[in-house]
Chain A
Protein backbone atom coordinates (compact mmCIF):
# COMPACT_ATOMS: atom_id res chain seq x y z
CA UNK A 1 0.00 0.00 0.00
CA UNK A 2 1.50 3.30 -1.03
CA UNK A 3 2.01 6.29 1.23
CA UNK A 4 -0.01 8.29 -1.24
CA UNK A 5 -3.15 6.24 -0.68
CA UNK A 6 -2.78 6.60 3.07
CA UNK A 7 -2.27 10.35 2.88
CA UNK A 8 -5.19 10.73 0.52
CA UNK A 9 -7.50 8.82 2.83
CA UNK A 10 -6.16 10.75 5.82
CA UNK A 11 -7.06 14.03 4.13
CA UNK A 12 -10.49 12.78 3.17
CA UNK A 13 -10.87 11.58 6.75
CA UNK A 14 -9.88 15.00 7.99
CA UNK A 15 -12.51 16.44 5.68
CA UNK A 16 -15.14 14.32 7.41
CA UNK A 17 -13.47 15.14 10.71
CA UNK A 18 -14.01 18.88 10.38
CA UNK A 19 -17.74 18.26 10.05
CA UNK A 20 -17.67 16.05 13.13
CA UNK A 21 -15.70 18.75 14.91
CA UNK A 22 -18.04 21.57 13.97
CA UNK A 23 -21.17 19.65 14.90
CA UNK A 24 -19.80 18.20 18.12
CA UNK A 25 -18.47 21.66 19.01
CA UNK A 26 -22.01 23.06 18.73
CA UNK A 27 -23.35 20.19 20.81
CA UNK A 28 -20.63 20.65 23.40
CA UNK A 29 -21.23 24.39 23.64
CA UNK A 30 -24.96 23.83 24.09
CA UNK A 31 -24.48 21.01 26.57
CA UNK A 32 -21.68 22.71 28.47
CA UNK A 33 -23.40 26.04 28.83
CA UNK A 34 -27.06 25.06 28.86
CA UNK A 35 -27.06 21.46 30.01
CA UNK A 36 -29.31 20.54 27.10
CA UNK A 37 -28.68 17.46 24.98
CA UNK A 38 -29.76 18.91 21.65
CA UNK A 39 -30.92 16.04 19.53
CA UNK A 40 -32.18 18.50 16.93
CA UNK A 41 -28.59 19.43 16.08
CA UNK A 42 -28.60 17.11 13.06
CA UNK A 43 -31.84 18.65 11.84
CA UNK A 44 -30.28 22.12 12.16
CA UNK A 45 -27.39 20.92 10.00
CA UNK A 46 -29.85 19.54 7.44
CA UNK A 47 -31.76 22.81 7.55
CA UNK A 48 -28.57 24.77 6.84
CA UNK A 49 -27.94 22.68 3.73
CA UNK A 50 -31.55 23.07 2.56
CA UNK A 51 -31.49 26.83 3.03
CA UNK A 52 -28.46 26.89 0.73
CA UNK A 53 -30.24 24.68 -1.81
CA UNK A 54 -33.52 26.57 -1.72
CA UNK A 55 -31.75 29.91 -1.83
CA UNK A 56 -29.79 28.86 -4.90
CA UNK A 57 -32.34 27.09 -7.03
CA UNK A 58 -35.87 27.24 -5.66
CA UNK A 59 -36.68 30.80 -4.62
CA UNK A 60 -38.16 31.70 -7.99
CA UNK A 61 -39.97 28.41 -8.52
CA UNK A 62 -41.50 28.42 -5.03
CA UNK A 63 -42.05 32.01 -4.12
CA UNK A 64 -41.85 33.76 -7.47
CA UNK A 65 -38.94 35.90 -6.26
CA UNK A 66 -36.32 36.29 -8.91
CA UNK A 67 -33.46 36.12 -6.48
CA UNK A 68 -30.61 33.70 -6.23
CA UNK A 69 -28.62 33.39 -3.03
CA UNK A 70 -25.21 32.04 -3.94
CA UNK A 71 -22.88 29.91 -1.86
CA UNK A 72 -21.20 32.84 -0.13
CA UNK A 73 -24.53 34.43 0.63
CA UNK A 74 -25.79 31.16 2.09
CA UNK A 75 -22.71 30.89 4.25
CA UNK A 76 -24.04 34.03 5.95
CA UNK A 77 -27.81 33.68 5.63
CA UNK A 78 -28.23 30.01 6.60
CA UNK A 79 -26.49 30.21 10.02
CA UNK A 80 -28.45 33.37 10.71
CA UNK A 81 -31.81 31.75 9.94
CA UNK A 82 -30.97 28.50 11.72
CA UNK A 83 -29.68 30.50 14.69
CA UNK A 84 -32.95 32.44 14.82
CA UNK A 85 -34.91 29.19 14.73
CA UNK A 86 -32.73 27.95 17.59
CA UNK A 87 -33.48 31.09 19.59
CA UNK A 88 -37.19 30.63 18.92
CA UNK A 89 -37.06 27.00 20.08
CA UNK A 90 -35.12 27.92 23.21
CA UNK A 91 -37.38 30.83 24.13
CA UNK A 92 -40.70 29.11 23.52
CA UNK A 93 -39.97 25.50 24.45
CA UNK A 94 -36.64 24.51 25.98
CA UNK A 95 -36.79 27.31 28.55
CA UNK A 96 -39.80 25.65 30.14
CA UNK A 97 -37.83 22.44 30.61
CA UNK A 98 -34.79 24.08 32.20
CA UNK A 99 -35.42 22.73 35.68
CA UNK A 100 -36.25 19.20 34.59
CA UNK A 101 -34.07 16.19 33.88
CA UNK A 102 -31.96 16.06 30.66
CA UNK A 103 -34.25 13.44 29.23
CA UNK A 104 -37.07 15.96 28.68
CA UNK A 105 -34.91 18.28 26.60
CA UNK A 106 -33.64 15.30 24.66
CA UNK A 107 -37.17 14.05 23.96
CA UNK A 108 -38.35 17.51 22.94
CA UNK A 109 -35.46 18.04 20.54
CA UNK A 110 -35.92 14.52 19.21
CA UNK A 111 -39.53 15.41 18.44
CA UNK A 112 -38.45 18.61 16.71
CA UNK A 113 -36.01 16.55 14.64
CA UNK A 114 -38.75 14.20 13.47
CA UNK A 115 -41.03 17.11 12.58
CA UNK A 116 -38.33 18.89 10.56
CA UNK A 117 -37.27 15.69 8.81
CA UNK A 118 -40.86 14.78 8.01
CA UNK A 119 -41.53 18.25 6.68
CA UNK A 120 -38.58 18.16 4.30
CA UNK A 121 -39.13 14.54 3.31
CA UNK A 122 -42.56 15.62 2.14
CA UNK A 123 -41.12 18.06 -0.39
CA UNK A 124 -37.70 16.65 -1.24
CA UNK A 125 -36.18 13.45 -2.45
CA UNK A 126 -35.05 11.43 0.55
CA UNK A 127 -32.15 10.00 -1.41
CA UNK A 128 -30.76 13.49 -1.93
CA UNK A 129 -30.57 16.44 -4.31
CA UNK A 130 -27.19 17.72 -5.48
CA UNK A 131 -26.34 21.33 -4.62
CA UNK A 132 -25.38 23.10 -7.84
CA UNK A 133 -24.12 26.29 -6.29
CA UNK A 134 -20.47 25.49 -5.60
CA UNK A 135 -18.61 28.66 -6.53
CA UNK A 136 -16.41 28.67 -9.63
CA UNK A 137 -13.43 29.90 -7.62
CA UNK A 138 -13.46 26.74 -5.51
CA UNK A 139 -13.84 24.21 -8.30
CA UNK A 140 -11.01 22.09 -9.62
CA UNK A 141 -8.13 20.57 -7.72
CA UNK A 142 -5.04 21.77 -5.90
CA UNK A 143 -1.67 20.11 -6.20
CA UNK A 144 -0.52 19.42 -2.65
CA UNK A 145 2.76 17.89 -3.80
CA UNK A 146 1.89 14.39 -2.76
CA UNK A 147 -1.59 14.38 -4.30
CA UNK A 148 -4.25 16.35 -6.08
CA UNK A 149 -7.03 17.39 -3.73
CA UNK A 150 -10.37 19.02 -4.58
CA UNK A 151 -10.12 22.77 -3.93
CA UNK A 152 -13.54 22.92 -2.35
CA UNK A 153 -12.75 20.21 0.19
CA UNK A 154 -9.54 21.95 1.14
CA UNK A 155 -11.50 25.16 1.59
CA UNK A 156 -14.05 23.34 3.77
CA UNK A 157 -11.26 21.96 5.98
CA UNK A 158 -9.53 25.30 6.46
CA UNK A 159 -12.74 27.26 6.92
CA UNK A 160 -14.11 24.82 9.52
CA UNK A 161 -10.85 24.77 11.43
CA UNK A 162 -10.86 28.56 11.60
CA UNK A 163 -14.46 28.60 12.85
CA UNK A 164 -13.78 25.88 15.44
CA UNK A 165 -10.69 27.50 16.89
CA UNK A 166 -12.24 30.96 16.84
CA UNK A 167 -15.16 29.59 18.86
CA UNK A 168 -12.79 27.94 21.30
CA UNK A 169 -10.80 31.16 21.67
CA UNK A 170 -13.95 33.19 22.19
CA UNK A 171 -15.24 30.95 24.97
CA UNK A 172 -11.94 30.30 26.74
CA UNK A 173 -10.09 33.58 26.29
CA UNK A 174 -12.43 36.54 26.02
CA UNK A 175 -14.30 38.48 28.66
CA UNK A 176 -17.68 37.57 27.24
CA UNK A 177 -16.56 33.95 27.19
CA UNK A 178 -15.56 34.09 30.84
CA UNK A 179 -19.01 35.47 31.65
CA UNK A 180 -20.58 32.56 29.82
CA UNK A 181 -18.45 30.12 31.79
CA UNK A 182 -19.35 31.88 35.03
CA UNK A 183 -23.03 31.70 34.09
CA UNK A 184 -22.67 27.96 33.70
CA UNK A 185 -20.82 27.44 36.96
CA UNK A 186 -23.04 29.59 39.16
CA UNK A 187 -26.01 31.13 37.37
CA UNK A 188 -27.52 32.69 40.52
CA UNK A 189 -24.41 34.56 41.56
CA UNK A 190 -23.69 35.63 37.99
CA UNK A 191 -27.16 37.17 37.83
CA UNK A 192 -26.69 38.77 41.23
CA UNK A 193 -23.73 40.63 39.70
CA UNK A 194 -26.13 42.09 37.17
CA UNK A 195 -25.51 39.82 34.18
CA UNK A 196 -28.52 38.70 32.17
CA UNK A 197 -27.95 34.95 32.25
CA UNK A 198 -31.24 33.92 30.56
CA UNK A 199 -30.33 36.11 27.58
CA UNK A 200 -26.84 34.59 27.45
CA UNK A 201 -28.40 31.13 27.47
CA UNK A 202 -30.73 31.97 24.59
CA UNK A 203 -27.97 33.51 22.49
CA UNK A 204 -25.68 30.56 23.16
CA UNK A 205 -28.31 28.13 21.96
CA UNK A 206 -28.79 30.27 18.88
CA UNK A 207 -25.03 30.29 18.31
CA UNK A 208 -24.80 26.50 18.64
CA UNK A 209 -27.64 26.07 16.16
CA UNK A 210 -25.99 28.56 13.81
CA UNK A 211 -22.80 26.47 13.86
CA UNK A 212 -24.82 23.44 12.76
CA UNK A 213 -26.45 25.50 10.00
CA UNK A 214 -23.03 26.68 8.86
CA UNK A 215 -21.76 23.11 8.73
CA UNK A 216 -24.83 22.23 6.65
CA UNK A 217 -24.01 24.89 4.03
CA UNK A 218 -20.38 23.72 3.90
CA UNK A 219 -21.54 20.13 3.45
CA UNK A 220 -24.04 20.91 0.68
CA UNK A 221 -21.58 20.93 -2.25
CA UNK A 222 -19.87 17.74 -1.01
CA UNK A 223 -22.75 15.53 0.00
CA UNK A 224 -26.15 15.55 -1.59
CA UNK A 225 -28.75 17.55 0.30
CA UNK A 226 -31.26 15.20 1.86
CA UNK A 227 -33.83 15.33 4.67
CA UNK A 228 -31.98 12.52 6.42
CA UNK A 229 -28.42 13.87 6.07
CA UNK A 230 -28.48 15.10 9.67
CA UNK A 231 -29.98 11.95 11.12
CA UNK A 232 -27.19 9.87 9.55
CA UNK A 233 -24.53 12.07 11.02
CA UNK A 234 -25.88 13.01 14.44
CA UNK A 235 -25.45 9.55 15.95
CA UNK A 236 -21.74 9.55 15.07
CA UNK A 237 -21.43 13.11 16.35
CA UNK A 238 -22.94 12.14 19.68
CA UNK A 239 -20.34 9.37 19.90
CA UNK A 240 -17.65 11.98 19.17
CA UNK A 241 -18.93 14.18 21.99
CA UNK A 242 -18.99 11.25 24.41
CA UNK A 243 -15.41 10.34 23.46
CA UNK A 244 -14.22 13.95 23.76
CA UNK A 245 -15.99 14.51 27.05
CA UNK A 246 -19.39 16.11 27.48
CA UNK A 247 -19.09 19.87 27.64
CA UNK A 248 -15.39 20.14 26.79
CA UNK A 249 -14.95 22.63 23.95
CA UNK A 250 -11.42 21.68 22.94
CA UNK A 251 -12.26 18.01 23.52
CA UNK A 252 -15.09 18.20 21.00
CA UNK A 253 -12.90 19.84 18.36
CA UNK A 254 -9.87 17.57 18.74
CA UNK A 255 -11.82 14.34 19.02
CA UNK A 256 -13.94 15.32 16.00
CA UNK A 257 -10.82 15.81 13.91
CA UNK A 258 -9.07 12.71 15.28
CA UNK A 259 -12.04 10.45 14.80
CA UNK A 260 -12.54 11.64 11.23
CA UNK A 261 -8.91 10.77 10.59
CA UNK A 262 -9.22 7.40 12.25
CA UNK A 263 -12.34 6.62 10.25
CA UNK A 264 -10.57 7.64 7.04
CA UNK A 265 -7.55 5.48 7.80
CA UNK A 266 -9.71 2.53 8.77
CA UNK A 267 -11.08 2.69 5.24
CA UNK A 268 -7.56 1.96 4.01
CA UNK A 269 -6.57 -0.73 6.44
CA UNK A 270 -9.80 -2.53 7.19
CA UNK A 271 -12.73 -1.09 5.23
CA UNK A 272 -15.50 -3.21 6.80
CA UNK A 273 -14.85 -1.56 10.20
CA UNK A 274 -14.86 2.02 8.88
CA UNK A 275 -18.41 2.80 9.89
CA UNK A 276 -18.16 1.18 13.33
CA UNK A 277 -14.67 2.11 14.51
CA UNK A 278 -15.92 5.26 16.23
CA UNK A 279 -18.50 3.35 18.24
CA UNK A 280 -15.88 0.76 19.18
CA UNK A 281 -13.69 3.59 20.50
CA UNK A 282 -16.67 5.07 22.31
CA UNK A 283 -17.21 1.82 24.19
CA UNK A 284 -13.53 1.71 25.17
CA UNK A 285 -13.58 5.32 26.36
CA UNK A 286 -16.75 4.77 28.36
CA UNK A 287 -15.22 1.73 30.01
CA UNK A 288 -11.89 3.29 30.94
CA UNK A 289 -12.56 7.04 31.09
CA UNK A 290 -16.29 7.52 31.55
CA UNK A 291 -16.02 11.32 31.60
CA UNK A 292 -14.42 11.29 28.14
CA UNK A 293 -10.85 12.01 27.03
CA UNK A 294 -11.00 15.72 27.82
CA UNK A 295 -13.90 15.81 30.27
CA UNK A 296 -13.59 16.38 33.99
CA UNK A 297 -15.09 13.90 36.43
CA UNK A 298 -17.94 15.52 38.31
Chain B
Protein backbone atom coordinates (compact mmCIF):
# COMPACT_ATOMS: atom_id res chain seq x y z
CA UNK B 1 0.00 0.00 0.00
CA UNK B 2 1.19 3.56 -0.62
CA UNK B 3 2.76 4.95 2.53
CA UNK B 4 0.24 7.68 3.31
CA UNK B 5 2.40 9.21 5.97
CA UNK B 6 5.13 9.92 3.41
CA UNK B 7 5.00 13.22 1.51
CA UNK B 8 3.77 13.25 -2.05
CA UNK B 9 6.60 13.81 -4.55
CA UNK B 10 4.73 13.71 -7.81
CA UNK B 11 1.12 14.08 -8.80
CA UNK B 12 0.12 13.89 -12.44
CA UNK B 13 -3.47 14.72 -13.35
CA UNK B 14 -5.18 14.53 -16.71
CA UNK B 15 -1.91 14.75 -18.63
CA UNK B 16 -2.14 15.06 -22.42
CA UNK B 17 0.89 15.34 -24.66
CA UNK B 18 1.52 15.81 -28.34
CA UNK B 19 4.47 15.41 -30.67
CA UNK B 20 3.51 17.65 -33.54
CA UNK B 21 0.15 16.34 -34.72
CA UNK B 22 0.20 13.04 -32.88
CA UNK B 23 -1.58 12.90 -29.56
CA UNK B 24 0.36 10.47 -27.32
CA UNK B 25 -0.91 10.70 -23.72
CA UNK B 26 -4.66 10.90 -23.22
CA UNK B 27 -5.38 12.00 -19.67
CA UNK B 28 -2.81 10.13 -17.62
CA UNK B 29 -3.02 10.19 -13.81
CA UNK B 30 -0.33 9.05 -11.42
CA UNK B 31 0.67 9.69 -7.80
CA UNK B 32 4.01 8.92 -6.24
CA UNK B 33 5.13 9.21 -2.61
CA UNK B 34 8.60 9.62 -1.24
CA UNK B 35 10.57 6.38 -1.11
CA UNK B 36 8.28 4.45 -3.44
CA UNK B 37 9.48 2.43 -6.40
CA UNK B 38 6.93 2.08 -9.18
CA UNK B 39 7.01 0.67 -12.67
CA UNK B 40 5.29 1.78 -15.82
CA UNK B 41 4.43 -1.32 -17.80
CA UNK B 42 2.85 -1.65 -21.19
CA UNK B 43 3.46 -2.45 -24.80
CA UNK B 44 5.76 -0.50 -27.08
CA UNK B 45 4.18 2.80 -28.04
CA UNK B 46 1.75 2.84 -25.11
CA UNK B 47 3.24 6.08 -23.78
CA UNK B 48 5.54 4.99 -20.96
CA UNK B 49 8.66 6.77 -22.20
CA UNK B 50 6.53 9.77 -23.13
CA UNK B 51 5.29 9.94 -19.54
CA UNK B 52 8.86 10.35 -18.30
CA UNK B 53 9.65 12.88 -20.99
CA UNK B 54 6.46 14.80 -20.22
CA UNK B 55 7.46 15.12 -16.57
CA UNK B 56 10.72 16.69 -17.77
CA UNK B 57 9.07 18.92 -20.35
CA UNK B 58 10.76 17.16 -23.25
CA UNK B 59 7.61 16.70 -25.33
CA UNK B 60 6.24 19.06 -27.95
CA UNK B 61 3.15 20.21 -26.08
CA UNK B 62 1.57 19.15 -22.80
CA UNK B 63 -1.59 20.04 -20.91
CA UNK B 64 -3.02 18.96 -17.57
CA UNK B 65 -1.17 19.13 -14.31
CA UNK B 66 2.22 17.86 -13.11
CA UNK B 67 3.10 18.78 -9.57
CA UNK B 68 6.55 18.06 -8.15
CA UNK B 69 6.83 18.56 -4.38
CA UNK B 70 3.56 20.47 -4.68
CA UNK B 71 4.82 22.89 -7.34
CA UNK B 72 3.04 23.02 -10.70
CA UNK B 73 5.64 22.56 -13.47
CA UNK B 74 3.50 22.08 -16.56
CA UNK B 75 4.51 25.46 -18.02
CA UNK B 76 8.11 25.51 -16.83
CA UNK B 77 11.19 25.22 -19.02
CA UNK B 78 12.99 21.87 -18.79
CA UNK B 79 16.12 23.14 -17.06
CA UNK B 80 14.10 24.43 -14.09
CA UNK B 81 12.03 21.28 -13.66
CA UNK B 82 15.08 19.20 -12.76
CA UNK B 83 15.87 21.54 -9.88
CA UNK B 84 12.33 21.79 -8.56
CA UNK B 85 11.62 18.07 -8.71
CA UNK B 86 15.15 17.01 -7.74
CA UNK B 87 14.93 14.76 -10.78
CA UNK B 88 17.53 12.40 -12.14
CA UNK B 89 16.81 11.17 -15.65
CA UNK B 90 18.31 8.13 -17.32
CA UNK B 91 17.02 8.06 -20.91
CA UNK B 92 16.32 4.91 -22.89
CA UNK B 93 19.20 5.57 -25.30
CA UNK B 94 21.37 6.18 -22.18
CA UNK B 95 22.56 9.52 -23.49
CA UNK B 96 26.24 9.06 -22.72
CA UNK B 97 28.10 12.00 -24.24
CA UNK B 98 30.51 10.61 -26.79
CA UNK B 99 32.72 13.69 -26.69
CA UNK B 100 33.21 13.47 -22.91
CA UNK B 101 35.17 10.88 -20.94
CA UNK B 102 33.75 8.90 -17.98
CA UNK B 103 34.80 11.47 -15.39
CA UNK B 104 33.44 14.34 -17.46
CA UNK B 105 30.17 12.49 -18.02
CA UNK B 106 29.91 11.88 -14.30
CA UNK B 107 30.54 15.49 -13.46
CA UNK B 108 28.36 16.95 -16.18
CA UNK B 109 24.95 17.10 -14.46
CA UNK B 110 24.94 20.02 -12.05
CA UNK B 111 24.28 19.41 -8.36
CA UNK B 112 20.61 20.22 -7.85
CA UNK B 113 20.26 19.41 -4.16
CA UNK B 114 22.55 18.55 -1.25
CA UNK B 115 22.99 14.94 -0.23
CA UNK B 116 24.16 13.38 -3.49
CA UNK B 117 26.63 10.49 -3.50
CA UNK B 118 30.31 11.41 -3.62
CA UNK B 119 32.47 10.30 -6.54
CA UNK B 120 34.14 7.81 -4.18
CA UNK B 121 30.78 6.29 -3.19
CA UNK B 122 29.77 6.09 -6.85
CA UNK B 123 32.98 4.33 -7.83
CA UNK B 124 32.47 1.96 -4.90
CA UNK B 125 29.05 1.09 -6.29
CA UNK B 126 30.36 0.82 -9.87
CA UNK B 127 33.96 -0.39 -9.60
CA UNK B 128 34.31 -1.12 -13.30
CA UNK B 129 33.62 2.52 -14.16
CA UNK B 130 36.56 3.54 -12.00
CA UNK B 131 38.92 1.54 -14.17
CA UNK B 132 37.66 3.40 -17.24
CA UNK B 133 37.65 6.92 -15.84
CA UNK B 134 39.55 8.44 -18.73
CA UNK B 135 37.83 6.52 -21.54
CA UNK B 136 35.68 8.46 -23.98
CA UNK B 137 31.95 7.82 -23.65
CA UNK B 138 31.88 6.33 -27.14
CA UNK B 139 34.41 3.62 -26.16
CA UNK B 140 32.31 2.05 -23.39
CA UNK B 141 30.37 -1.20 -23.66
CA UNK B 142 26.58 -1.16 -23.41
CA UNK B 143 26.67 -2.30 -19.78
CA UNK B 144 29.27 0.29 -18.83
CA UNK B 145 27.24 3.01 -20.53
CA UNK B 146 24.17 1.96 -18.59
CA UNK B 147 26.07 2.01 -15.28
CA UNK B 148 27.44 5.44 -16.12
CA UNK B 149 24.00 6.75 -17.08
CA UNK B 150 22.70 5.75 -13.66
CA UNK B 151 25.84 6.71 -11.76
CA UNK B 152 25.94 10.28 -13.02
CA UNK B 153 22.47 11.15 -11.69
CA UNK B 154 23.34 9.86 -8.21
CA UNK B 155 25.95 12.57 -7.75
CA UNK B 156 23.50 15.44 -8.21
CA UNK B 157 21.41 15.02 -5.09
CA UNK B 158 18.42 13.94 -7.18
CA UNK B 159 15.92 12.02 -5.06
CA UNK B 160 13.42 11.06 -7.75
CA UNK B 161 14.96 8.88 -10.43
CA UNK B 162 13.31 8.36 -13.81
CA UNK B 163 14.87 5.24 -15.30
CA UNK B 164 13.85 4.33 -18.83
CA UNK B 165 14.40 0.72 -19.98
CA UNK B 166 17.66 0.28 -18.12
CA UNK B 167 17.80 -3.47 -18.78
CA UNK B 168 17.30 -3.28 -22.53
CA UNK B 169 19.76 -5.38 -24.49
CA UNK B 170 22.03 -6.19 -21.56
CA UNK B 171 23.54 -9.52 -20.51
CA UNK B 172 22.20 -11.44 -17.45
CA UNK B 173 25.32 -10.70 -15.42
CA UNK B 174 24.70 -6.97 -15.90
CA UNK B 175 21.02 -7.35 -15.03
CA UNK B 176 22.10 -8.90 -11.76
CA UNK B 177 24.30 -5.91 -11.06
CA UNK B 178 21.47 -3.51 -11.93
CA UNK B 179 19.11 -5.40 -9.65
CA UNK B 180 21.64 -4.99 -6.84
CA UNK B 181 21.99 -1.27 -7.60
CA UNK B 182 18.23 -0.60 -7.60
CA UNK B 183 17.85 -2.46 -4.29
CA UNK B 184 20.65 -0.41 -2.78
CA UNK B 185 19.09 2.84 -4.02
CA UNK B 186 15.75 1.78 -2.57
CA UNK B 187 17.37 1.19 0.80
CA UNK B 188 18.94 4.60 0.63
CA UNK B 189 15.44 6.08 0.25
CA UNK B 190 15.44 7.06 -3.43
CA UNK B 191 12.06 7.35 -5.14
CA UNK B 192 12.14 5.58 -8.49
CA UNK B 193 10.00 5.30 -11.61
CA UNK B 194 11.09 2.33 -13.71
CA UNK B 195 9.89 2.05 -17.27
CA UNK B 196 10.47 -1.62 -17.97
CA UNK B 197 9.93 -4.15 -20.69
CA UNK B 198 11.46 -6.86 -18.56
CA UNK B 199 8.69 -7.63 -16.06
CA UNK B 200 10.68 -10.35 -14.31
CA UNK B 201 13.37 -7.80 -13.53
CA UNK B 202 10.95 -5.14 -12.33
CA UNK B 203 8.39 -7.22 -10.40
CA UNK B 204 10.40 -7.91 -7.25
CA UNK B 205 11.75 -4.35 -7.09
CA UNK B 206 8.58 -2.27 -7.18
CA UNK B 207 5.88 -1.32 -4.67
CA UNK B 208 3.33 -0.70 -7.36
CA UNK B 209 2.85 -1.26 -11.08
CA UNK B 210 1.01 1.01 -13.47
CA UNK B 211 -0.17 -0.53 -16.70
CA UNK B 212 -0.36 2.02 -19.48
CA UNK B 213 -2.30 1.56 -22.68
CA UNK B 214 -3.07 4.12 -25.38
CA UNK B 215 -1.67 6.92 -23.26
CA UNK B 216 -3.59 6.37 -20.02
CA UNK B 217 -3.33 4.21 -16.91
CA UNK B 218 -5.63 1.21 -17.33
CA UNK B 219 -4.62 -0.79 -14.28
CA UNK B 220 -2.81 -0.17 -11.04
CA UNK B 221 -1.45 -3.23 -9.24
CA UNK B 222 0.11 -3.25 -5.77
CA UNK B 223 3.07 -5.56 -5.26
CA UNK B 224 0.98 -7.70 -2.90
CA UNK B 225 -1.72 -8.20 -5.53
CA UNK B 226 0.64 -9.47 -8.21
CA UNK B 227 -0.40 -13.12 -7.83
CA UNK B 228 -4.13 -12.49 -7.75
CA UNK B 229 -4.02 -10.12 -10.70
CA UNK B 230 -1.66 -12.18 -12.83
CA UNK B 231 -4.36 -12.70 -15.42
CA UNK B 232 -5.06 -8.98 -16.03
CA UNK B 233 -1.35 -8.43 -16.21
CA UNK B 234 -0.88 -11.08 -18.86
CA UNK B 235 -3.79 -9.78 -20.86
CA UNK B 236 -2.39 -6.26 -20.93
CA UNK B 237 1.21 -7.12 -21.53
CA UNK B 238 1.00 -10.03 -23.96
CA UNK B 239 1.48 -9.02 -27.55
Contacts and interface: CB of A to CB of B under 8 A. Distances in A.
A193 B108 contact: yes
Interface string A161-193: 000000000000001001101100110111111
A182 B108 contact: yes
A188 B78 CA distance: 8
Counting chain B residues whose Cβ lies within 8 A of the other chain, the interface size class is 20 to 34
Nearest to B83: A194
Given A175-B107, A189-B89, A189-B91, A194 B112 contact: yes
Contacts of A125: none
Size category of the binding interface on chain A: 10 to 19
Contacts of A190: 108
A193 B99 contact: no
A296 to B, nearest CB: 10
A194 B107 contact: no
B79 A181 contact: no
Contacts of B194: none
Contact of A186 (B87, B97, B109): B97
A194 B109 contact: yes
Contact of B110 (A181, A185, A186, A195): A195
Contacts of A195: 79, 109-110
A278 interface: no
Contacts, number: 60
Contacts of B107: 175, 178
B109 A181 contact: no
Contacts of B56: 192
Interface string A185-208: 110111111111110000000000
Contact of A188 (B58, B99, B153, B156): B58
Contacts of B112: 194
Contact of A191 (B79, B99, B100, B104): B79
B108 A191 contact: no
Given A178-B104, A178-B107, A189-B89, A194 B97 contact: no
Given A175-B107, A192-B82, A182 B58 contact: no
Interface in A259-290: none
A186 B95 CA distance: 8
A189 B105 CA distance: 12
Nearest to A200: B79
Interface string B89-129: 10100010111100010011110100000000000000000
A291 to B, nearest CB: 15
A191 B78 contact: yes
B81 to A, nearest CB: 8
Nearest to A179: B108
A194 B110 contact: yes
Contacts of B109: 193-195
Contacts of A197: 79
B155 to A, nearest CB: 11
Contact of B78 (A175, A178, A186, A192): A192
Interface in B41-95: 56, 58, 77-83, 87, 89, 91, 95
Contacts of B80: 194
B108 A178 contact: yes
B89 A181 contact: no
Contacts of A188: 58, 78
Given A186-B95, A188-B58, A193 B110 contact: yes
B138 to A, nearest CB: 11
A283 to B, nearest CB: 30
Nearest to A175: B107
Contacts of B97: 181-182, 185-186
Contacts of A181: 97, 99-100
Contacts of B78: 188, 191-192
A228 to B, nearest CB: 38
Which 4 A-B residue pairings sit nearest by Cβ, starting from the closest?
Answer: A194-B82, A193-B109, A191-B78, A189-B95
12 contacts: A175-B107, A181-B100, A188-B58, A189-B89, A192-B56, A193-B82, A193-B110, A194-B82, A194-B110, A195-B79, A195-B110, A197-B79
Interface of B: 56, 58, 77-83, 87, 89, 91, 95, 97-100, 104, 107-110, 112, 153, 156
Given A186-B97, A192-B56, A194-B79, 19 more contacts: A175-B107, A181-B99, A182-B97, A186-B95, A188-B58, A188-B78, A189-B91, A190-B108, A191-B79, A192-B89, A192-B91, A193-B82, A193-B153, A193-B156, A194-B82, A194-B83, A194-B87, A196-B77, A197-B79
Interface of A: 175, 178-179, 181-182, 185-186, 188-198
